[in-house]
Amino acid sequence: MTYWYMQLSPDSEEWQNREEELLSEMKLIGGFFISDTLSKYFTEDMKINDIVLIKRGVKAIALVKVISEFISKQSETGIMNFSDLDWFEDRRKVRILDWASDEMLDFPIASSILDMATNKYTRAYSYIDNWYKKVQKKNLNFKIQEVFIESYKVLKNFKIDFFDENNKALALIVIAGKNGTGKTSLLEYLSNLKQGDKDCIKYQKNDKNYEFNKENTLNSKELESFRGNLVYIPTNIINTDKLEDLILGYIDYFVYEKGVSAFVGYENLQNDVYEIFEDFNLNFQFKRIDHKSKKPLFSNYDNVKDDIEFNLRDLSTGEKTLLSKVLYLYLNEVKNKVVLIDEPEFSLHPSWQAKILKVYENFAKSYNCQIIISTHSPHIIGSCKNEYIRVLRFNDENNVEVVDNKLSNEKDVNWVLEEIMGTDYLEGKSIINKIKEIENLLGKEQYLKADKKISNLEEKIARTDLDLIKLRNILDFEMD
């Protein structure tokens, strides 16, 4: 990550004070750079996740984060709502981090159109760095507590909470249910929240409670702040390009910021990957950066002797899914955010599905995030703590509602398929029916048959299941 400062507008009275309008409506920065040096700065040297201070002269306007590669005017359509943007040749999409306040001091450099702030001992660097740190502190705690949706796709008069029994917002929520019950729709709604939406959302920010509803809608800046605290990861998005850039930035940090060998960065990255995915028994490891192609290279653990190297794209789909979704969060400095993840089981082997939830839970706690997951995976649901689960089902009025939590933690996959996902399984008989059958046998004093059926059931669901413990205790008492 690098700090930059730039001026968006030409020196004309017609563009006076229109930067805020451009940033709010278009989420773009750019300009027309006559100098080859400035053009190279913007098109090649500026990277995704770099921080840019937008100014006019010495007046600071906004602090933004770069979220796209360079876009030429010829490749982008539909942004010419600003009729006088013909001069705006080179562009990048950005996310607004903060707006300058009237109380802020003047930025120390007036004349530059675009420049990097890399020297930590300069006033320009200190100005941007202090502002960015204040922005991070502003968002030390952001979590959604409750959502009410009046009407969005299949969700009608729908209410769901994300807090525990002590009314504290949960760090991890797992939304389960059959196809068509609105799991993905809920994540889409939150990620695409628009100004004027009159539903109700309660959330915490910096340990204070906020609410917007029909009478109290968000203005444009409040909405930008809310959406800026959300990260949405759709089902089948595997962005290897973005991850490669993040890995390069990670290694550059050790070389240019810490002044050590790239090999120190290599070792640290591989240690991070190993620590994050310790239980996954990965067959590959990060090896080095190919200086010719500027791409990270990997090798298989079992091919150390042959030293076969390959690109990120050559990993299996499941391996790329792990790295591009999980490692992306770690390397992208995603902190103090609400992360929405749709179907994290995509392309993962069932053994990895059973372990992935713990990885996301560790991340949420380490980086003070709230992670909201929608899933069809019984392996993920079965590995989930009971307080995290929210099950969506259609009620008698054909509306989606959240039903009482099912005790799925440590249950057999078949149990989850039946009782959480509503699948008829296990020879057409549910776990509930099997428990009732054992209760009937105990009532008829058929203890040997009951013992056999309890033992069979203990092989299918956890021995720590409260119903099974109760049945086993009754049997042991009667047979003594």
Residue 347: CA count within 13 A, CB half-sphere? 15
* 301 assigned to some structural domain: yes
- What count of other Cβ atoms lies within 10 Å of the Cβ of residue 302? 10
Domain boundary among 295, 312, 329: 329
Closest CA relative to residue 343, chosen from 333, 332, 363, 357: 357
- 125 CA to centre of own chain: 29
Q: What is the pLDDT of residue 75?
A: 52
Within this chain, do residues 71 and 131 fall inside the same structural domain, yes or no?
A: yes
Q: How high is the pLDDT of residue 174?
A: 93
Residues 70 and 185 grouped into a single domain: no
Q: Is the pLDDT score of 195 beyond 80?
A: no
Residue 418 CA to residue 382 CA, distance in Å, equals 12
Average pLDDT, the chain: 83
Q: Other CB atoms closer than 10 Å to residue 438's CB: what's the count?
A: 25
What span, in angstroms and rounded, lies between the C-alpha atoms of 167 and 207? 13
Q: For 88-108, what is each residue's pLDDT tens digit?
A: 778 888 888 899 988 899 999
Residues 12 and 82 in one domain: yes
Q: Please indicate, yes or no, if residue 211 is contained in any of the structural domains.
A: yes
Query: Domain check: are 131 and 24 in the same one?
Result: yes
What is the arithmetic mean of pLDDT over 270-292?
91
Give mean pLDDT, residues 361-388: 88
How many domains, in total, are found in the chain?
Answer: 4
Q: Return the sign of the alpha-carbon dihedral for residues 94, 327, 4, 131.
A: positive
Enumerate the β-bridge partners of residue 52: 4, 64
Nearest to 53 by CA among 123, 127, 118: 127
Structure tokens at 228: 């800026």
HEC states along 297-330?
EEEEHHHCCCCCEEEHHHCCHHHHHHHHHHHHHH
The whole-angstrom separation of Cα 289 and Cα 406 is: 47
**348 domain residue, yes or no:** yes
3-state secondary structure string, the chain? CCEEEEECCCCCHHHCCCHHHHHHHHCEEEECCCCHHHHHHHHHHCCCCCEEEEEECCEEEEEEEECCCCEEHHHCCCCCCCCCCCCCCEEEEEEEEEECCCCCCCCCCCCCCEEEECCCCCHHHHHHHHHHHHHHHHCCCEEEEEEEEEEECCEEEEEEECECCCCCECCEEEEEECCCCCHHHHHHHHHCCCCCCCCEEEEEECCEEEEECCCCCCCHHHHHHHHHCEEEECCCCCCHHHHHHHHHHHHHHHHHHCCCCHHHHHHHHHHHHHHHCHHHCCCEEEEEEECCCCEEEEEEHHHCCCCCEEEHHHCCHHHHHHHHHHHHHHHCCCCCCEEEEECCCCCCCHHHHHHHHHHHHHHHHHCCCEEEEECCCHHHHHCCCHHHEEEEEECCCCCEEEECCCCCCCCCHHHHHHHCCCCCCCCCCCHHHHHHHHHHHHHCCCHHHHHHHHHHHHCCCCCCCHHHHHHHHHHHHHHC
Residues 106 and 24 in one domain: yes
Last residue of a domain, one of 84, 104, 138: 138
Is the per-residue pLDDT at 360 higher than 50? yes
Position 354 in a domain = yes
Is the Cβ–Cβ distance between 434 and 445 less than 8 Å? no
- Residues spanned by the domain of 446: 431-479
Q: In terms of domains, do 77 and 187 share one?
A: no
State yes or no: pLDDT of 461 exceeds 80. Answer: no
Least confident of 113-117, 208-212, 282-286: 208-212
Q: Is the pTM of this model over 0.75?
A: no
Residue of 419 and 434 predicted with greater confidence: 434
pLDDT of amino acid 189: 93
Give the chain's length: 480
**Is residue 423, in this structure, part of any structural domain at all?**
no
Model pLDDT for residues 127-171, shown as the tens digit of each residue: 999 999 888 776 678 899 999 999 999 999 999 999 988 888 999
Is 410 inside a domain boundary?
no
Cα distance between residue 289 and residue 285, in whole Å? 13
Domain shared by 16 and 116, yes or no: yes
Gyration radius (Cα) of the chain, Å: 27
Dihedral in degrees, nearest 10, Cα atoms 305, 308, 313, 314: -80
131 and 48 fall within a common domain: yes
Do residues 381 and 417 touch, judged by C-beta distance below 8 A?
Answer: no
Is residue 402 a part of any domain in this protein? no
Question: How far apart, in whole angstroms, are the C-alpha atoms of residue 440 and residue 228?
Answer: 57
In b/e form, how buried is each residue of 138-149, taking b as 16+ CB within 10 angstroms? Answer: ebeebbbbbbeb
- Domain final residue pick, 109, 138, 167: 138
Considering the domain architecture, whether residues 24 and 74 belong to the same structural domain is answered as: yes
Both 223 and 347 in a single domain? yes
| pLDDT digit string, tens, across residues 318-354 | 999 999 999 999 998 788 899 999 999 988 988 899 8
For residues 130 and 159, membership in a common domain is answered with no
pLDDT higher than threshold 60 for residue 39: yes
Residue 408 placed within a domain: no
Looking at the fold, whether 118 and 14 belong to one and the same domain comes out as: yes
Q: Is the pLDDT of residue 82 over 70?
A: no
| Per-residue pLDDT at 77 | 44
